[in-house]
Amino acid sequence: MPMITTAENVEIFYKDWGTGQPIVFSHGWPLSADDWDTQMLFFLHKGFRVIAHDRRGHGRSTQTAAGNEMDTYADDLKVLFEALDLKDAVMIGHSTGGGEVARFLGRHGTSRVSKAVLMGAVPPIMVKSDANPGGLPIEVFDGFRAALAANRAQFYVDVPTGPFYGFNRPGAKVDQGVIDNWWRQGMMGGTKAHWDCIKAFSETDFTEDLKSIDIPVLVLHGDDDQIVPIADSAMISSTLLPKGVLKVLPGLPHGMATTHADQVNAELLAFIEG
């Protein structure tokens, strides 16, 4: 399997298909590069080079006990960029991956990147505080940790069966294959890394990262996102980004890249080529 190795000997799995302008995808928690398969095939057939990695502790990468936080995620991604000598890249991050993209650009700059997309993304910060009164209470994330520790396998059935894809909405058509694929990806990763990542995606403040990004950024969000509510994420992030463009997709859920791939892919392509 294609791997890069970081300075501390952590192996990061990646996919790298095609030629042309590179598009680099960052996945959500607790998934893997496989969550981008539909987008990767679409853009490969449009003439792009498509790259997606498994974040440390996720998928086929090393099941790390340490470094499961945003600074290190961003540093791992920098190693990938340098190993593949990526230039003029478009970065696309979903959910936790959107935080990873924001921290990468804030921490390492935009010299290798021309555009970025934050899709259903966690920035600027998810957890509720005095400075972020619209956020989700810490008890929500404590509940995630408790469910993961008690029965990770069942928890990874419950999330996609319910709010992630909006399958809990009245009249929703439930896709068992999608649920099974979510479970498969989640169970490939490491419990400790997934536990740590809950803190990383919920408590990291990306405000200063967003303010520093000097390239065009599309903020793409479904207004029926039950995992990362739009009011405290996209609506704020788009105002912090110097060149942010907000696009709200009515009625779409958090996992819209899967449930509404044609619509999402069209929006991504229009932004990249615009």
Instruction: Give the Cβ contact number of residue 260 at 10 Å.
Output: 19
Instruction: Give the Cβ contact number of residue 245 at 10 Å.
Output: 15
Provide CB contacts within 8 A for 248, sequence distance 6+: 221, 222, 223, 230, 234
Instruction: Give the Cβ contact number of residue 197 at 10 Å.
Output: 25
**Position 21, amino acid:** Q
The span from the CA of 142 to the CA of 109, in Å, is 33
Whether residue 84 contacts residue 214, with contact meaning beta carbons closer than 8 Å, is answered with: no
How far is residue 168 CA from its own chain's centroid? 22
Enumerate the active-site residues: 95, 225, 254
